[in-house]
Structure 1
Amino acid sequence: MTFSPDPVRFDEARPLALTAAVDIAASGVDVLMVRDILGRLSLLLDDRLAAVDAAKVEAWRERLISTLGRYAADRPLLLASKLFQPDAYFASPRAADEHGYVAGSGQGTIRWLDNTVVGGDWARVSTPRADPDGVRTARTALYGFKGGVGRSTATFMLAKHLAGQGNCVLVIDLDLESPGSGPLLVAEEQLPQYGIIDQLVESALDNDEGLDLVTQATHFQLQNNGELWVAPARGRGAPHATYAYIDKLNRVYADVPGKGQGSFADRLEAAVQACEEAVARESRRPDVVLLDSRAGIHDIAAIAISRLCDLALLFGSDNGQTWAGYGELFKAWLSSGQAPEIREKLRMVASMVPDADRPGYLEAFRDHAWESFSILYDDLLDGETGFNPSPEDDSAPHSPIPILFALELVGIDAVSTPGWDDWAFVRAAYDSFLKTATKLMIEGPR
């Protein structure tokens, strides 16, 4: 096998394979593009209804080998009739229609199946939220591409605000590597016996029945018949047993072969539902669920945003790292065809806004946000209709909800500083955020 002097790199391989797939589909054959965990590509041709000329098959195979170089799989072209279980590929729920390709008359379809170790849920078409008992609880995910933007503190403030209005609120701390909102809301000695991490580990073995997962918040008094429940990332553990958090963390993300609800995404969704049901058994069904997601490009955040929530609050500061990071996520949603389902439930939060230059900062933030978000919006010609809000649209996903910067909160130990959340400057810093987020959660995103 020989390759060209200029080797094909990862970013070039998929477009080259797609070009070949389009030419093959033009002959009337359905094509499934498959990428393995190393990035190598294969084209699977569905020849079960129509025979494919053997000479063409060999020519297509040679073309893939010569054009893809080391990104050609060991068997770069396969026929469905030669596979043991072809529908394991062609009918896979993870396969999606190739974005931007529309089959013409007499042409075959092209679908895409990407195999990844982590991160696949960013580019996986979202599935409708499941509501087993027919009662829908409003869920909001709070996410930041980078850490240190005040997401967990905002979760704390929003949870208290909503409960103070008489709602039954459940906060689920999904930041497993660095639990945030759980410690802010519940004293160590009041933790439930088990946490989200236990639910994920035990459910892989069908051993999750009867776990003690939720507890009421302990750090403040609520009014107006509101309730605030917490499902922390970790629990306090069983008596006379060491709570092996790191050992559990090393196992939670694995899919479980042969199990009906074995994927990590399925188990995470089941864990959220289990927490909601636990609150319902103790009191009443939550009116609102806040999912405190972890930062970064991580499967937990991908699942929380694309699959579990009705509203996603995206936190960030106005800097190049923020917009480069969100730009990569938006490109993944666009390429997978998720943009129409995802974009209208997103809303940007401008965290740590300097009060001295609030108007100028927010205007620059909005403009940069619009530049990033516009990749998710429709390209419209004159007279066409679609989803393409203007930069000045205050209700658009890119329009920032501000949280003012409070220097006094830097480095504060919130757990050992009772009443900090009622300080006047703290209430002023979060006022706009709490009002706008509450309205979005009650009325729903745009």
Structure 2
Amino acid sequence: MTFPPDPVRFDEARPLALAVALDTAASGVDVLLVRDILGRISLLLDDRSGGLDAAKTATWRERLKNTLGPYAADRPLLLASGLFQPDAYFASPRAAAELGYVAQPGHGSIRWLDNTVVGGDWARVSTPEAESGGVRTARTALYGFKGGVGRSTATFMLAKHLAGQGNCVLVVDLDLESPGAGPLLVAEEQLPQYGIIDQLVESAVHNEEGLDLVAQATHFHLPNNGELWVAPARGRGAPGTEYAYVDKLNRVYADVPGHGQGSFADRLEAAVHACEDAVARESRRPDVVLLDSRAGIHDIAAVAISRLCDLALLFGSDNGQTWAGYRALFTAWLSSGQAPEIREKLRMVASMVPDADRASYLETFRDHAWECFSVLYDDLVDGNTGFNPSPEDGSAPHSPIPILFAIELVGLDAVTTPGWDDRAFVRAAYDSFLKTVTNLMIEGPR
């Protein structure tokens, strides 16, 4: 009895296509591998400097069809001379050099263009630009691969601590699906009329001017002329009008064709700038912005970490789910060639550390974190130099910043419990975290 051959799966399609690309590049032509949102792959060949052998082209096309199976695009091989706007592909800023490929003399280049729906900005790392005059607000993103790691509470504690030192602090609640930081800092009746969700929706139709986006924290008094402002995910809405939060949420992630800043990433970046400008109009430009990101592999987290922040605090507990999730993200950064840039802004936070066995727990956490972060570190062989800190390096990205577990915090309703954050057990739990992160934000990540 004969069995049909095993079908090609998603993970196998790219290396199979790359094997064909290597042959085509050897003929001297530049190659662009393009993967669509379903995972199907096309090879685009830049033949504008000279014709290609028609027989070879036909052979490559058939090889792609036969080897990729369902992951071959309907038109698996295209020539630049036959495209209406070839530079829309070959000159795309999203096209990245194929990692590990070095063109031999006489060979063409190979680049990769991946089209995705969610998480597309994980592989695009950039540093926030300075404002006019060379001044730029420092931004820190707080992110957890999984929820329930105390990220929003840590955002509250860090914001209050920084403001208490005389800084003007802005907290931006980017957890649109599960807003958390806003209610912790501002009473419901004191929320601004609009939230981040409104900025994203209105900007898609060029109607974002004049939105009331920020409010000052209302739950405590700050010393040293410090200020604490909040840009919540949702606002209180206009009087007499239903605040259709879910209807807005269903629309924010879509890119907007023909819009000057139509991508979700561009609009989210513009929304954060708008919140900073709103604080500046009311008082002064923020010294520090804390981005309370959402959990999971999602475009919000991707943009917050890859594009919007100088420092990214990665929260986690010492378990297999934490390390498997972060390893997947780190591998994506490595594959896209962004590892050297992104690792400079990362720092691991060990949340809910047991006080009874703290030293042992943190040592184990650190070793597991180092194994995970090693994906982003340089492979030092044959005396090469590079970035590869030891497991014991306390300033390395993998070195955990601890937040102690306090049973009293479980089930605590922070909104209805005044002064909860000034209790001795809370201060003890967050003491090391606040001191270490404050120093990182002032001195900058390594």
TM-score computed with the length of structure 1 as normaliser = 0.98
The superposition leaves residues 339-364 of structure 1 with CA deviations (integer Å, 9 ceiling, x where unpaired) of 01100110000000000000000000
How far off is 1:382 after superposition? 4.4
SS in 1 for 2:357: helix
- Contact 2:121/2:302 (CA < 8 Å) preserved in 1? yes
* Residue 366 (1) aligns with residue 366 (2): yes
CA distance in 1, matches of 2:386, 2:299: 30
- Contact 2:175/2:292 (CA < 8 Å) preserved in 1? yes
**Structure 1 residue identity aligned to 2:198:** D
SS in 1 for 2:238: coil
- Contact 2:96/2:113 (CA < 8 Å) preserved in 1? yes
CA distance in 1, matches of 2:201, 2:146: 27
Q: Which runs of 4+ in 1 moved over 3 A?
A: none
How far off is 1:131 after superposition? 2.9
CA distance in 2, matches of 1:368, 1:7: 36
CA distance in 1, matches of 2:4, 2:10: 15
* Residue 420 (1) aligns with residue 398 (2): no
CA distance in 1, matches of 2:348, 2:98: 29
**Structure 1 residue identity aligned to 2:223:** Q
* Residue 131 (1) aligns with residue 130 (2): yes
CA distance in 2, matches of 1:391, 1:165: 33
The superposition leaves residues 204-259 of structure 1 with CA deviations (integer Å, 9 ceiling, x where unpaired) of 11100111000000111100010000000000111221100000000000000111
How far off is 1:106 after superposition? 1.3
* Residue 384 (1) aligns with residue 374 (2): no
CA distance in 2, matches of 1:428, 1:299: 34
In structure 2, runs of 5+ residues without a counterpart are: none
The superposition leaves residues 36-80 of structure 1 with CA deviations (integer Å, 9 ceiling, x where unpaired) of 111110000000112111111001001101111111011000000
SS in 1 for 2:374: helix
Q: Tell me whether 113-122 or 363-372 shows the greater mean CA deviation.
A: 113-122
Where does residue 100 of structure 2 map in the other structure?
100
**Structure 2 residue identity aligned to 1:442:** I
Where does residue 53 of structure 2 map in the other structure?
53
- Contact 2:127/2:309 (CA < 8 Å) preserved in 1? no
How far off is 1:132 after superposition? 3.9
Q: Tell me whether 129-138 or 327-336 shows the greater mean CA deviation.
A: 129-138
Percent of pairs with identical residues: 85
How far off is 1:126 after superposition? 1.7
How far off is 1:127 after superposition? 3.0
> RMSD of the TM alignment (CA)?
1.0
* Residue 395 (1) aligns with residue 395 (2): yes
The superposition leaves residues 375-418 of structure 1 with CA deviations (integer Å, 9 ceiling, x where unpaired) of 00000124321110001000000000000000000010000000
Q: Tell me whether 98-107 or 324-333 shows the greater mean CA deviation.
A: 98-107
How far off is 1:105 after superposition? 1.4
How far off is 1:302 after superposition? 0.5
**Structure 2 residue identity aligned to 1:50:** G
How far off is 1:96 after superposition? 1.3
- Contact 1:353/1:405 (CA < 8 Å) preserved in 2? yes
CA distance in 2, matches of 1:298, 1:98: 24
CA distance in 2, matches of 1:281, 1:338: 36
How far off is 1:4 after superposition? 6.5
Where does residue 11 of structure 1 map in the other structure?
11
- Contact 1:4/1:69 (CA < 8 Å) preserved in 2? no
CA distance in 2, matches of 1:396, 1:100: 26
1:9-88 correspondence runs (5 A): 9-88=9-88
